[in-house]
Amino acid sequence: MGMDQKASYGGGVRERVENSGVGLLVDEGGGEPQAGGMTLRRGSQEEDRYPRAPSQEAWEAMSPEERERVVASLPGEVTDAEMSPPEGDRHFQAKVRALDTLRGYFARERRRAYLAAELPVYYPGARRFAPDLLVVLDAEAHERNKWMVSAEGKGLDFVLEVHVGGDRRKDARKNVVRYARLGIPEYFIYDGARQQVLGYRLPRASARAYVPVKPRAGVYLSKQLGLELRLEDGRLRFYDGLELLLDSEEMRAELEQMVDGLHHRVEEDARLLRREQRRVAEAQRRAAEAERRADREARRAAELEAELERLKRGRS
């Protein structure tokens, strides 16, 4: 369902959402109520024209069937108007590498975690958003087309936004306030243009305002991930203690290098083995030749002794 499509819930759902005072989808133009019965206030038209999840109160009042219909109706995409303008390959590569690196890390560690990039996220009664990278700990890693907090039973644990150009206010100001108010424990920004990392953390679970994460020698600790974030050679890198976490392309290159090294060692060992076999064969040939020579000399000695004995008998 896109921005211009109307949600269709049963009367029970409509009544519960109306009573909660939260509109799930409000038309952009005239302020007519849709799917929630809330008439759009003129001053909040820009804020409320997009689909929203119902409030937690409304959600808890719904039956399982009603909840299922609500989840199914929420779009699995966001509109261009809600997204930042495209920032090119540097933005895309940084986001994809971070996602790939972290997915590989959690898989190798056998830690339950769900990771996604630009996935629509629905907090109760709040405007949806789609961060560059999100992590939810202790969540099943099956495929999703959206994350609805009420349906999943928990919110995001870690968000990373990548910025390489354009207006920084969305990532560096608005999202700092927004994500804190939603209760997201950690929020990091990788600013590729300025080559810096900014980190924010809720000082306690009940807090709704971030405090900056202070780096130590350029290292930022993510308590949620249990990893360190650093900038190296113009890239955002993740460390598990002293170990640099590699993305799949880097791991493939490293494995290829290891395989090439093994092949080289196997070839070298085979060469040394062939040389040793030739040495052994040569030694065996020499030993056989020496044995044959000894046999010939023994026969020659026996012949000479016989001849000598014959000569002695002839004289006598």
What's the DSSP call for residue 174?
I
> How many whole angstroms separate alpha carbon 147 and alpha carbon 10?
22
Q: pLDDT tens across 11-25, in order? A: 455 545 544 444 444
Spans of all domains in the chain: 1-74, 76-245, 246-316
Instruction: Match domain 76-245 to its CATH number in 3.40.50.1000, 3.90.1570.10, 3.40.920.10, 3.40.50.12160.
Output: 3.90.1570.10
Bridge partners of residue 190, in order along the sequence = 162, 197
Q: pLDDT tens digits for 124-182? A: 999 999 999 999 999 999 999 999 999 999 999 999 999 988 778 888 899 999 999 99
Contact 166, 138 (CB under 8 A): no
Going by C-alpha positions, the residue among 117, 112, 108, 133 that lies closest to residue 240 is 108
What pLDDT is recorded for position 122? 97
What's the mean per-residue pLDDT of the chain? Answer: 84
Does pLDDT of 197 surpass 80? yes
Is the predicted pLDDT of residue 215 greater than 90, yes or no? yes
Which tens digit of pLDDT belongs to each residue from 217-271?
999 999 999 999 999 999 999 999 999 999 888 888 777 777 777 777 888 888 8
Of 164, 162, 165, 166, residue with least CA distance to 175: 162
Fill in the DSSP letter of residue 203.
S
Please give the pLDDT value at position 86.
67
**Measuring CA to CA, how many Å separate 2 from each of 11, 25, 35, 80, 104?**
22, 10, 14, 11, 33
Q: How confident is the model at residue 309 (pLDDT cuts 50, 70, 90)?
A: confident
